[in-house]
Amino acid sequence: MTFISVLSIVATWFPGRQAPVVTQLTGLLGQLGQVLSAVTLVALLHGPGWTAAFGSAAALGVLVCVLAVAVLRDSAPGAVRTAAPSLRQVGRDLRAAFRHPGTRLGLWTHFVTQFSSNPPSSPGRRPRRPGCWSCWWSASRSAGPAP
């Protein structure tokens, strides 16, 4: 949910030409933060223990929340707020976006890769490459049923 919230702020604070770069940087920083937080959490778990590890994580979360409320704004200073689109307009915009091949490619790429280590079990079908769901999917669709 945080990434989507940041994207809405990026759309109002940055011009259209800069938004993709800022979006990518946001994703990269988020991933770096996950790695650093995992290392820190493991160090705290092995050192001071569970109470200190999760207490410090909770305290950091509260600090970030307070800073976000104090510092972040929905729109840039002087920006004109537009009216929210109607439900009908949102539906039209979603249909138009989904007609674009890049949107569908992104959707299915993200959908398939999050399950890459969990091949589905279907009676009578064996994955050609266990552990790679997308490979199994494409192989099963191109080569027919497994022997």
Residues 8 and 57 in one domain: yes
**pLDDT (tens digit, 9 = 90+) per residue, 80-104?**
777 888 999 999 999 999 999 998 8
pTM: 0.53
Residues 57 and 102 in one domain: no
H/E stretch holding 143 reads helix 133-143
pLDDT for 136: 47
Residues 17 and 63 in one domain: yes
Residues 10 and 57 in one domain: yes
Residues 103 and 64 in one domain: no
Q: Which amino acid is at 102?
A: G
Report the number of distinct structural domains present in the chain. Answer: 2
Inside any domain, residue 48: yes
Residues 11 and 65 in one domain: yes
> Alpha-carbon distance 113 to 133, whole Å?
8
Residues 49 and 115 in one domain: no
> Alpha-carbon distance 70 to 51, whole Å?
28
Could you list the residue range(s) of the whole structural domain that residue 15 is in?
A: 1-75
Inside any domain, residue 42: yes
Inside any domain, residue 71: yes
Residues 6 and 71 in one domain: yes
pLDDT for 3: 81
Inside any domain, residue 130: yes
Alpha helices (H) along the chain: 2-13, 19-46, 50-71, 87-99, 101-113, 133-143
What does the CA dihedral 95, 17, 25, 133 come to, rounded to 10 degrees? 30
Residues 12 and 70 in one domain: yes
**pLDDT (tens digit, 9 = 90+) per residue, 1-35?**
578 888 888 888 888 899 999 999 999 998 998 89
